[in-house]
Structure 1
Amino acid sequence: MTPQALHQSRLKILDAATDVVRAKGYAATTVDDLCAAAGVTKGSFFHHFKSKEEMVLEAVAHWNTWTDGIFAAAPYASAADPRDRVFGYLDFRRDLLDHTVPQFTCLMGTLVQETYATHPAVRAACDRGMSSHVAILTRDIEAARLKYAPDAAWTAESVGYFIQAVLQGSFIFAKAKESAAVARGNLAHLRRYLESLLGSPDQNPR
């Protein structure tokens, strides 16, 4: 097998993992499941990865690279006003709810709920990935705070974590109810809360 073919088979496994684990969870996902979804042999899997855990750690890194690119290329990311970027992020998240439940939920959120006490390396990788996403979001929140609420007592980081907590909790309810309805309602409430902090997007800065 050529180096390019090896690389492609590795990517197929990592892509499959992001879908299968979000749908079935870590423990229920078998190597056979991953091979079937990726269209590769078990031998190919173990050529690339020593274990399911090693593969999942690489899948988390793969997920972060992929999602970072999606959010960076989203329309809201190019808005000139930081408040527009913050609310645009919420709108983008809302639009993602049009997909199926496994497709809009978070790989890291799924993993950490199940593995935080049993697989410390997976927990730590999820923590780094989710915290990195919060840090990116925090930059826009802080810029919006300085422009629209410079005297506010809250920190941009705390709001960033709150946004992600609402999203991750919404994903849990979406799985429980097999519907995005609660998640949509939560995002609407989150928007109203952020408007209480930053004003609505159509307001002028101070």
Structure 2
Amino acid sequence: MSEQTTQRHKGYAKGQEARMRILDAAIASVRQKGYAATRVDEVASCAGVTKGGFFHHFSSKEEMAVAAAMRWSEVTGQLFEAAPYHLPDDPLDRVLAYIDFRRDIIGGQTDEFTCFAGTLAQETHLSAPTIRDAARASIFDHAQTLTADIEAAKSRSCPDADWTADSLALHTQAVLQGAFIIAKADGGPERARESVGHLRRYVELLFGRRPKSSAN
């Protein structure tokens, strides 16, 4: 490989690193104060790039938000893929373990556990359809990761039930997003954790399993 090619590769790698820093800074800002209050110059500063450097990577704040939604899906996807809720043999146990995992990671300040994609969807569903669609893809694609286990559990426990695995998978996300709104309104995680506890009990009852007693 020539020195010129090597330098090109190094330049590309540095550019990609800067791009990821911008996206991570954007995600942090939106989770802290929302999309409307997130400013390009502040994101650039947090990412360690100039404002001109920001516009080298993104033509607009909207383009950044769309890319950040994809980045969010990648990062959280890795977290969920490695999570222990995949371990149980029984598909219903895996679904319930997923809900437990989601409850267990609700803690600390609201910006530490609330959903970037959900915040985008709430703020931009009318004003910026491109961002809304990116947020939708993030939320719906994650819900889809639950569908196979829900379908397998349904086949075992209640094959004739008049609901679909897709609809229940989306319902889990609806409850989670609602719990995040409750957390923001309440200023803390406890009531959000309670909401997710109720989701667990609902799913157990839906599949004919007696709910275990829970503090949440």
Coarse TM-score class (shorter-chain normalised): over 0.9
- Counterpart Cα distance in 1 of 2:144 and 2:17: 31
1:65 counterpart = 2:65: no
Larger Rg: 2
CA contact (8 A) 1:106 1:168 kept: yes
Moved over 6 A (4+): none
1:5-30 CA deviation, whole Å, 9 max, x = no partner?
Answer: 11111110111111111111111100
1:117 counterpart = 2:126: yes
CA shift in 2, pair 1:189/1:201, >3 Å:
closer
- Counterpart Cα distance in 2 of 1:28 and 1:15: 16
Give 1:181-196 correspondences, 5 Å limit: 181-196=190-205
Structure 2 residue ranges without an equivalent (≥5)? 1-9
1:2 counterpart = 2:7: no
Q: Please point out which of 51, 75, 78 is paired with 1:42.
A: 51
Shift of 1:80: 2.0
Partner of 1:127: 136
1:92 counterpart = 2:107: no
Same amino acid, percent of matched pairs: 49
CA contact (8 A) 2:106 2:113 kept: yes
Shift of 1:79: 2.5
Shift of 1:78: 3.0
Counterpart residue identity of residue 81, structure 2: A
CA contact (8 A) 1:14 1:62 kept: yes
Shift of 1:151: 2.6
1:99-139 CA deviation, whole Å, 9 max, x = no partner?
Answer: 32111111111011111111010111111221111111122
Shift of 1:98: 2.1
TM-score (norm 2): 0.89
Secondary structure of 2:136's match? helix
Partner of 1:80: 89
1:137 counterpart = 2:146: yes
CA contact (8 A) 1:84 1:201 kept: no
Structure 1 residue ranges without an equivalent (≥5)? none
- Counterpart Cα distance in 1 of 2:26 and 2:104: 23
Counterpart residue identity of residue 192, structure 1: R
